[in-house]
Each structure stands twice: as C-alpha cells, then as structure tokens.
Structure 1
Amino acid sequence: MSTTDPTSDNRPQPSAGESPLLGGADIRALAEAFGVRPTKQRGQNFVIDGNTVRRIVRAAEVTGEDTVVEVGPGLGSLTLALLEVARHVTAVEIDPVLARHLPDTVAARMPGRAESFDLVFSDAMLVTELPGPAPTALVANLPYNVAVPVLLHMLATFPSIERTLVMVQSEVADRLAAKPGNKVYGVPSVKANWYAEVKRAGAIGRNVFWPAPNVDSGLVSLVRHDPPNTTASREQVFAVVDAAFAQRRKTLRAALAGWAGSAAGAEQALAAAGIDHKLRGEMLTVEQFAAIAEHKPE
C-alpha cells in the first residue's frame, strides 16, 4: 500500500452518503490529475458507469468470503465495486502511473476498506504469486489485446481461483464460450475448457467506457472444474490442440502430421484414441484432444 496522502492531488472524493464508485466526471478528473491518456497499446478503456461494475460483481457472484484478483484495474472503477463486497482485493497493474495512484484512490474513496486492498505492479503474464490469501475469484476488465493469454496464465498459475468473470471483446467472448462444431470454436475454447465450464454471461455497451471502444464487449463466466482424466500432461494436450488448429481447414490426419512425425503416425494416434482421422479439430472436445495426446507415436 502506498503511504501517499490521498488528498494531495485534489482527487475527487465522495460526499457523505454519496456512492464511492467512480462516475464519468470522476474518471476524467483522475485522468487529468494523473496526466493519464488512455492508450490503445495497453487496451485502456475505463468503465465510467457504476451500475455496470456492480452488475459485473453480481454476475461474478462475489461474496464477503472471496479474495479477488483483478487484472488491469486502471483508475479503479471495478476495484471499488469489488471492495464493496469482497473480503480482499488484489489488483495487478502494468502501467506505472496507474499503479502508483490506485492505492490512494481506494483510500480516498473507501477509507474503511483500504487495508483490504493490495496492488501488484507487474505484467500479469509474469505474476506467479500474490500477497495475502490465495485468490478464490478472478474478476477483470481485461485489456483486449492480451485477454486470452492473461486469462489462461492466471487460471494455470492460481488453481485456487474457483470462479472467473472477465469482460473481453465480444468476438473473444464468443470464441472462449464456443462449443465443438461452432465455427468460432478454436484454441481459446479448448484451453479454457481444460480449466473450467465456460459460458457467455452478457453483453456490455460501448457507452459505459471512456474512451468508447470501437468494438462491442462481452462477459464470460468460467467455473473451475477438474481437468480431463488423462495420463497426458496439460502441455502435451495443448500441443495437440495447437497443432490441430494451426491448419484448421485440414483433416486431423494432415494437421497432426507434424506433431506425430508423419501422417501415418497421426492416423495411428487417432485410431488408438477412437477418433475418425477425417474429422477436423473444431469437432473435438478437450477430452478427445487429451486422448490423442496419450497416444503420440514414440
């Protein structure tokens, strides 16, 4: 936690009885005070609507027992809504200016909850441990340009995360939640399903952001389940998935030839797994990919 005086930069503070959440005027005032200009490079679009962040918290089913990790908190819109409910919130922020000021914004807007908040200044893809109790939930407005790798990294690194609710680009939400046979079913769909039951959890309009993005947004819910019962490792299964979708228009026999050492080897592995070699990867479940991984030719 920062020890900076939370009022030293005249940041907006709620009056008695006023909501501690950040509205559009608050967000713009904070950005101006900090010299922040949202960048496309980091996918920065700040939520300016209190109803939206509270809706996200409700959809995530956050309770007073939860320790929540948030990635890309920005100026703190969702952070404050999470702190209204959760036992503890840890935010991971890569932007040095935003990371420096967020603890003070929390202290100014919700002084009674400041001790329940931690800030980790880091690239989320490099985070391997977090302060405080192990996280039970991941709730985030993920930077859209890195949403899938960040999501998969957090699920792999923190098995204590039971529930996840992320806001991502609408097309990415569709891909994550797609089922076998769907035209957008692919690598993100399969890998996310290794960790969790995945489904769409709603849409978010563009007008609740500043600046407004030029894409629609969607919510994705992930509830952790046991991975497939397989003798193959996650890395071995994901290697099959990557190979199958690298040439997704090809049959599995052709697409997995490089992985298996030859087309004949791929056909052998598929036969051992009980899978028709004429199928394409988009038709297979994560369990079927695991079965193939178990039978990679020596």
Structure 2
Amino acid sequence: MAITPPQEQAQPFEGLGSGVIIDAAKGYVLTNNHVINQAQKISVQLNDGREFDAKLVGSDEQSDIALLQLIKPDHLTQIAIADSDKLRVGDFAVAVGNPFGLGQTATSGIISALGRSGLNLEGLENFIQTDASINRGNSGGALLNLNGELIGINTAILAPGGGSIGIGFAIPSNMAKTLADQLIQFGEIKRGLLGIKGMEMSADIAKAMNLNVQRGAFVSEVLPNSGSAKAGIKSGDVIVSLNGKPLNSFAELRSRIATTEPGTKVKLGLLRDGKPVDVEVTLDKSTSSTASAELIIPALQGPRSATAR
C-alpha cells in the first residue's frame, strides 16, 4: 500500500503499509490509521500486481484503525475473520505484510500474550502480543491463525534498537471488525460509556477487599445518573465478564465498551462481597476527545514504513 504525502513534501511516497481485504464485493480494506494519516492519495497494490486507487471511508485514531474502499473493485478475494476471543497463549500465528516495501512476506510465531495494555501506543489498548517477526511496512497487515483466518491487525513492535526483537502487537480481529462495521455504517466511531471509574484488579486489592479473584476491572467510583448507576453497580464491585466472556483487565473492559455503540445493552458479571451478581447496563454516549496514537515511550515503535524513496 503506497501513500502519497501532502504536496509540499518532495518525496513521492510518505511510506508503505499493508492492509487486509474484508469485503471483496464492496472493496473494503482494513489497515492502520497511522499508515494513511494525512495522505492525499492512497494507492493499493495487490499481490497479483494489480493496483487500485482507494478512498478513505473513515478512521479512528484512538484504536489506530482505518477503513479504505477500493475504486472499482474487481475479482477480489476477502479474508475469513476468526473469533479472536477464542485465542490462547501458545497458539501458532502467521504475520503477513509488506515489510520495507519488499512485497508480500509471511513470518511465523506464536501468540505470546493476550490483552496487553499500558504501552502508551494508542488510546485504546487490548493487544495480541506475538513473536512472529513484524517490521516497518507491516503496519495494517494480517495476523493469521493456521487456518488462514484473520485474528489481528499488526500495528506496533517493541523496538529499543530500531528493529524487530520478536515482540509485536496486533489489534484483535473482533475489535477491528466491530470498528470497521461502525465506519461502514456511520463513517465514524460512536463510543459507548459505562459511567464508572476504576483500575486493574491486583493481588493487593484482592487482599484488601478479601476477594478470591485477581483478574478483572475494579470499580472505584460510579458516576451519578450513568447507565452503571441505574443498573445498580456499586464502588467496590469487580467486573469479571462482559456478555458472558471473561475480562482480564480494566483496559480490556474499556476497549470493548469504547468500541460498542451507545444505547447497546451489555451484560456484566460482577463480584460483590465475594458473591456473583449479574446486571444489564445500557451504554451512554461518550463525549471524550480522541487520544493521540503517537508514541510516548521511545522504545515502543509502530512498524511504520521504510524510508521514503
């Protein structure tokens, strides 16, 4: 994927990135926001050599997701999308992309960790970590399972020396697909809001609260008149599941809620005084501003494009 920068720059390309076709009939391509950010012209080259102009449908800086649409798509093949919630640490993974503009390249590895956050890469973080080699130009490319199904969108690497050291991060396919659906429908992301403040569950909190759980989202405050307040959530509750799926962290809860439309009813599994409680919350609309996706920690670098020619 070649991107032309603003005209005042002399180089013919700002850089190169990768993308994934998720709808062959309509020509929708999923990639990273930082790949296409501020581009005046977007050109997509397929592995068979065909080249298409593309337009930006919408993007989301907080999650670093962008959706493109190819102009006059023809005879495309779309990728099958797997349920990223079913991933387990140790599963095999294949990263596919266009590193340094060399052309389609595949590298293999495993799922090293799930639910990675606190990296200060993006506003919303719930990354898959993999040791499959990811380099500059792989941004927006596919992370696949061994069935060739999409499990993530490659977005960043930990690179203290400037190159891949086997610690890469991908946006889970479920999160990416949810965001893409909103961009198709609305052209923007409409974020849900629970109306709570909290923190990551830890052994210290569990000990202090006499709780037999060390994962989940600890609720420290419930905002008045919020959906959570109306549903009866209380400070001191621990949210351990969302719509029947276990939660590992507050960051994971935040990412899932912020990629769900306002007005949606979600089911939360709580622990209150050590006892399970189920509640249903109608999400409010978030009015928070978009967080910058620029890197804050110097050692954390997106697998951005190779030097422009």
Of structures 1 and 2, the one with the larger relative CO (CA 8 A, separation 6+) is 2
Bigger share in strand = 2
Bigger share in helix = 1
Q: Normalized against structure 1, the TM-score is what? A: 0.31
The structure having more radius of gyration, on CA atoms, is: 1
Q: Normalized against structure 2, the TM-score is what? A: 0.30
